[in-house]
Each structure stands twice: as structure tokens, then as C-alpha cells.
Amino acid sequence: MSDLVTPLTGTIIAAHGRHYLADVDGEKLQCVTRGKKTNVAVGDVVHLKRTSADQAVIEKIAERTTLLYRSDQYKSKLLAANISRLFIVVATEPGFTDDLVSRALVACEAAGIEAHLILNKLDVADLLPRARERVAPYAALGYPVHEVSATGQPEQTVATLAPLLEGHSSIFIGQSGMGKSSMINLLVPDADIAVREISAALDTGKHTTTFTRLYRLPGADGKTSTIIDSPGFQEFGLYHLTEGMLERAFVEFKPYLGGCKYYNCRHLAEPQCAVLDAVADGKIARMRHELYAQLLHESAQTLY
């Protein structure tokens, strides 16, 4: 009985609805929150109270270093906590959307998370030049782009990505079909086995791709490394970001902030706006400024 009252600390390694799986020194415990709260994210360090041999209640969430989430007009969805790097996976095929990539980059800047792009499927040679052309603007903004072929060159893919993950808590995101799962399987030994175990523990049956999960990577020099795999999604709402957060989350705006005639300039249609002048001069991509305007509009629609 004493084991049931001993406070425990664990890391949330999977989430499905209001059900969570925590890793407590290698032991997996099924967890729920008290009441109807669902403010727990994969990657959270949590304080638990055991309720049975393999179950516990989440009593408290430890302070987070970072929190990545997306939101629409009505609610927000937590993606991951305590991560230091985010990898956006795009590919030569199928086509990826610039809107999702740019929104993910904005989310990273707002959350203080380092962002990288991975261009997968280099072996689709005829589509490679166009894909490189499309990721070039992000590289020009300072975001690293790593080229791999997860199925065509698996060993080189691991050699490229493994050093980037070492010592970091990372998350992979991307649209379905970009090859994210293929990369996870290369980087995480026995990933498929882990997915089945997590799925069984969360009672998600065959819906193994609908939940976010965290894996511990075999690290060198004793460094702790984790990687979070998220379900593929097509949209990345940022309704929770305020005007001030948004203007600072576009890295190319930074040299011009404070240079506008009006101190409360929104950089939309105001006269003598340094940001708009930079757009007109080609120093800021019009596509990115249009996204900024769209995000400002969305942030004004929030209902929660």
C-alpha cells in the first residue's frame, strides 16, 4: 500500500484523448487527469499519484521550458512540451503547402524553439529542382534545410539526422505522405514495437497513427535525446498569438520593427511603415507578409 501513496515523477510519452501514458524510470503507467482538464502534452514532466499497479492520476505538471500548440477559433491543441528543436518534414512528392511550413516556423519563433526543415525523397530526381526552389526562401531566412532520402538512402539519412537530434528534445511534424514515419523507423530502433505497446496501453486498437508519442533515442556520451512523432496534419492554426507576438515571430520583420512612423503600426496599410516598404522593395517576401495579415485577422476571431 505504501507504493500507492509514494509521489512519482514521470514523462508523458503518449496522449490519446484524455488518456496518457507516462514513463516513470522505465515503468509505463496509464494516466488520467483530475476532472476534465486536458492541459497535458507529450513531453510534459508530471507528478503522479499511483492508483493501481499500472495506473496513476496526474497531480501536477512541472514547469515547462517550451510549449508548442496550435489553435483554431474555438480551442487549442497541445502538440508537445519541453522541446528544443522542431523538424518540418517536406518532400519532393506529394506537394507540400507553404502555408503549413510558414505557420510552423512562426509557432517556433513564438515558442522559442529552434526550427529546421527536412527535404525528403531526393531520389525523385525530376521533382527535386522545384522542391529545392520552394524551400530556398526558408533557407534564406536562416532556417537550416537538410536533404535526405529515407527509403533510397537510409544510412545517409541516419548519418544526417542523428547528430541533429543528439542532446535535444525534438518533434517531427509534417503533412501526411512526406515520409515522417519512415524517418522515425530509421532513427528509433524497434519503433513499431513501441507503437504497438503504446497503442495497447492506451487502448487505441489499430489507430496507431492518431496519437502523438515520444521515443528515447540511444545517445552517445550519456546525452539524453528524445524524439516526438506527431500525426500528419494539414492545418496549423495560430489563433492564440497576439499582434505583438506575431510581428516578432516573423524573423525578417525584426530589422524594421521600430522604424515605422506610428508606434502602434500594424504593418497592414499604414503610411510610412518600414515593414511595408521592405515588402515593396522585395526585402520581405509578399507571401510571408500576406500570411502575417491572415494571422492577424485570425487572432481577432478567437472565441476561447
149: annotated binding-site residue?
Answer: no
Give the per-residue pLDDT at 55. 92
Closest residue by Cα to residue 44 from 61, 68, 60: 61
CA-based end-to-end distance of the chain: 42
The whole model's pTM is what?
A: 0.89
- For residues 125 and 215, membership in a common domain is answered with yes
Is 257:278 a contact under the CB 8 Å cutoff?
Answer: no
180: annotated binding-site residue?
Answer: yes
Does residue 164 register a pLDDT over 90?
yes
CA distances from 72 to 13, 90, 172, 212, 235 (A): 25, 23, 21, 19, 10
Taking phi first (over 0 means left), then psi (-120 to 50 degrees means alpha), and beta for anything else, what does residue 41 get? beta
- CATH number for the domain including 105? 3.40.50.300
Does residue 61 register a pLDDT over 90?
yes
71: annotated binding-site residue?
Answer: no
Does residue 303 register a pLDDT over 60?
no
Could you give the number of structural domains in the chain?
Answer: 2
Query: Helix, strand, or coil here: 105?
Result: helix
179: annotated binding-site residue?
Answer: yes
Indicate whether 183 belongs to any domain. yes
The mean pLDDT of the chain is 88
Taking phi first (over 0 means left), then psi (-120 to 50 degrees means alpha), and beta for anything else, what does residue 181 get? alpha
In this prediction, residue 77 has a pLDDT band, given cuts at 50, 70 and 90, of confident
Does residue 117 register a pLDDT over 60?
yes
Give the per-residue pLDDT at 231. 79
- For residues 92 and 189, membership in a common domain is answered with yes
The boundaries of the domain holding residue 292 are 243-301
In this prediction, residue 207 has a pLDDT band, given cuts at 50, 70 and 90, of very low
Among 181, 207, 229, where does a domain finish?
229
Burial annotation 13-48 (CB, 10 A radius, 16+ → b, else e): bbbbeebbbbebeeebbbbbbeeeeeebbbbbbbeb
- For residues 253 and 283, membership in a common domain is answered with yes
In this prediction, residue 219 has a pLDDT band, given cuts at 50, 70 and 90, of low
Specify which of 70-74, 168-172, 184-188 reaches the highest per-range mean pLDDT.
168-172
Does residue 104 register a pLDDT over 70?
yes
- CATH number for the domain including 288? 1.10.40.50
Give the per-residue pLDDT at 293. 95
177: annotated binding-site residue?
Answer: yes
25: annotated binding-site residue?
Answer: no
Q: Which three cell numbers stand for residue 177?
A: 505522405
167: annotated binding-site residue?
Answer: no
265: annotated binding-site residue?
Answer: yes
261: annotated binding-site residue?
Answer: no
pLDDT for 252-261, tens place per residue?
Answer: 999 999 999 9
Among 229, 258, 288, where does a domain finish?
229
Give the per-residue pLDDT at 75. 75
Give the per-residue pLDDT at 1. 41
Closest residue by Cα to residue 178 from 89, 65, 288: 89
Is 107:299 a contact under the CB 8 Å cutoff?
Answer: no
26: annotated binding-site residue?
Answer: no
181: annotated binding-site residue?
Answer: yes
Does residue 127 register a pLDDT over 90?
yes
Q: Rounded to the nearest 5°, which phi and psi values hold at 120?
A: -100, 165
Which segment of 90-94, 132-136, 201-205 scores lowest on mean pLDDT?
Answer: 201-205
123: annotated binding-site residue?
Answer: yes
Does residue 26 register a pLDDT over 50?
yes
Query: Helix, strand, or coil here: 136?
Result: helix
Specify which of 16-20, 201-205, 277-281 reaches the highest per-range mean pLDDT.
277-281
Q: Which residue has the higher pLDDT, 178 or 70?
A: 178
55: annotated binding-site residue?
Answer: no
